[in-house]
Amino acid sequence: MAQIINDISRTFNEYLLIPGLTTKKCFPDNVSLKTPLVKYKKGQAPEIELNTPFVSAIMQSVSGSKMAIELARNGGLSFIFGSQPIDQQAEMVRKVKKFKAGFVISDANLTPDHTLSDVIKLKEKTGFSTIGITDDGSSNGKLLGIVTGRDYRPSRDSLDKKIKDFMTPFSKLITGNFGTTLSEANDIIWNNKLNALPIIDEEQKLKYFVFRKDYDSHKEYPNELLDSQKSLIVGAGINTRDYMERVPMLVDAGVDALCIDSSDGFSEYQQETIKYVREKYGDSVKIGAGNVVDKEGFLYLAEAGADFIKVGIGGGSICITREQKGIGRGQATSLIEVAQARDEYFDKTGIYIPICSDGGIVQDYHMVLALAMGADFIMMGRYFARFDESPTKKLIINGNYVKEYWGEGSNRARNWQRYDMGGSSSLKFEEGVDSYVPYAGKLKDNLDITLGKIKSTMCSCGETSIPDLKEKAKITLVSSTSIIEGGAHDVILKETKN
């Protein structure tokens, strides 16, 4: 008969943190959320550290270039989804690496022969009121003019009116030269009372816009995650099928870390993928693996050479792997066992391999529980899918704003590579659903609130760093009745007006 493990498979909802002594040093501004992304030897520093212990999930509906830029500016990391053509994924990586704070690549562009109707449609689609008019309608074509809301009146102008007849032509534009610093660009904006400054190269090709409204925001990113060249750090997801073609293109694009994207990482396919990276690039290319849920799976990937290991099967909000296959384990139980294996491996070998908790996060305090249980950082999909920066559409459903959110194992994603077990290249059945999540606004605004909660909770535990939290936090199991006790109860709640 099968080996029976009698330990109960538990979730984060079944635990609470017990307060520790809050000393005078325990205040939120004194809390450090720095954490290693990749493995390192005892006594040495990791080559990549996160300033915020969050990474965004390797999903079409979560991690595009916009998410990668904004999350890196806030100290975390995105793994750009791999269920797309290799050249498109590499271009997303390249876009993040080329990003300069304050210098915005134009995502709203048309040609002089487009019409006012096209302008209005583009504005509705993107939300951008400043449109670059280039010779080919691309973001880096030859700049011929710009259009803003002050150049037309929809109520009076014909929708068929050509852009060339109402745009501000290049001859009347004040521009900055490619290579201009942000400080110099802002001086030009202020001295000339501009709202936007186009930055062009020697061939008059549009490179960036610098906006007046962004001036103050540039000072709001003290935790930016940067490489030695002051470029943002970005990751990318790969699979175990086309890695020999995908990895070199991603490396050429400048990717900082790779992660094998799979619902089940305890696999010879992942071992072979890691081996390929090590033989071709040595330790210069960082690659994570997973997902696993126990000690045996962790040790297999550790010995294979993984730089970090993801933990969790079936705990995601849109994942139905457990329902479809009966495979998985409660996220808390998985994390506790793998963290213990990680620590034992460190004591034995002197090599510390960070682990990533992937799935099972519902409440913000679950993030602190995950860190206290041993996670070095946390991967989330639903949390990030709600924000402006995710790649999906914002819709109105039943009077409420939502964003689309679908799993990589859904037919919509058709990411058969992630769930591949060999054989024909098709998605045989779904392991994820297609859904909506409540729209929440900008990433930074929400992340600041979440990080504030995490820091406050850590202070209540008496700790000001993630390593100290792991070592000294106290956690207790809760009963079903104590969960009820923890919420509002035995009162009549007042109705709140929006």
- Which residues are catalytic, by number? 319, 418
Of the candidates 162, 164, 165, 131, the residue with the CA atom closest to the CA atom of residue 148: 131
Identify any residues that bridge with 131 across adjacent strands, giving them in sequence order: 147
Count the helices and strands in the chain (H runs, E runs).
Answer: 14, 24
Cα separation, 256 vs 44, whole angstroms: 19
Cα separation, 435 vs 71, whole angstroms: 23
* Entry field: residues in the chain: 498
Identity of residue 372: A
Strands (E), 140-263: 143-147, 168-169, 176-177, 196-200, 206-211, 235-238, 257-260
Across 216-225, b (16+ Cβ under 10 Å) vs e yields eeeeeeebeb
DSSP H or E stretch at residue 116: helix 116-126
Q: How many CB atoms lie within 10 A of CB 18?
A: 10
Instruction: Find the radius of gyration of the CA atoms of the chain.
Output: 25
Q: Residue holding tokens 């186009």?
A: 198
Q: How many CB atoms lie within 10 A of CB 449?
A: 12
Say if CB 132 and CB 206 are below 8 A apart.
yes
Cα separation, 371 vs 364, whole angstroms: 12
Residue 479 has φ and ψ, to the nearest 5°, of -90, 170
Task: Enter the DSSP assignment of 129.
Answer: S
